[in-house]
Amino acid sequence: MTFIIMKTIHLMAAFVYGGFLISDNLFIMRMQKHLSPEEYAKARGGVAARIRSIVPPSLVVIVLTGLYMLTQVFGEIGEEGLSRYQMLLSLKVFLGLWLGLRGVLQVYLGIQPLVFKGHRLPFLFVVTIILLSQLMYL
């Protein structure tokens, strides 16, 4: 029962984080083409204030619940090494930990990334994680 609760919390938090990245990459950033720089800054600033209170804690919840679920589903490593499932899950965990570490360093510690400062790479990582989630069970 604990696993189901953690998975539900994990998915709900992932919807919040993924939804932010989707809306930022597909909609909010595109407003730049249609608004003046002042209007765009004002619109983005209004959205950013609300996002900062919801998205970073969601990311922390995703990482913590994901690590818990990892301990429950990874399984034993066989004599022949990692199974396909374990390899894909490991890649998914790596991408998730990268996103989580980047988010914590940036939001809570104020350390800005040296490269990949926008939300395109995190968006691609989230899409990759979603695809891996489906491919793991094939």
Average pLDDT estimate for 52-66? 95
Residue-level pLDDT at 135: 95
Average confidence score pLDDT of the chain: 92
pTM of the model: 0.87
**Inter-residue contact 33 to 134 (CB < 8 Å):** no
Q: How confident is the model at residue 80 (pLDDT cuts 50, 70, 90)?
A: very high
Q: Over range 84-100, report the average pLDDT.
A: 96
Tokens representing 105? 């360093």
**pLDDT of the residue at 115:** 74
Q: How confident is the model at residue 50 (pLDDT cuts 50, 70, 90)?
A: confident
pLDDT value at position 12? 97
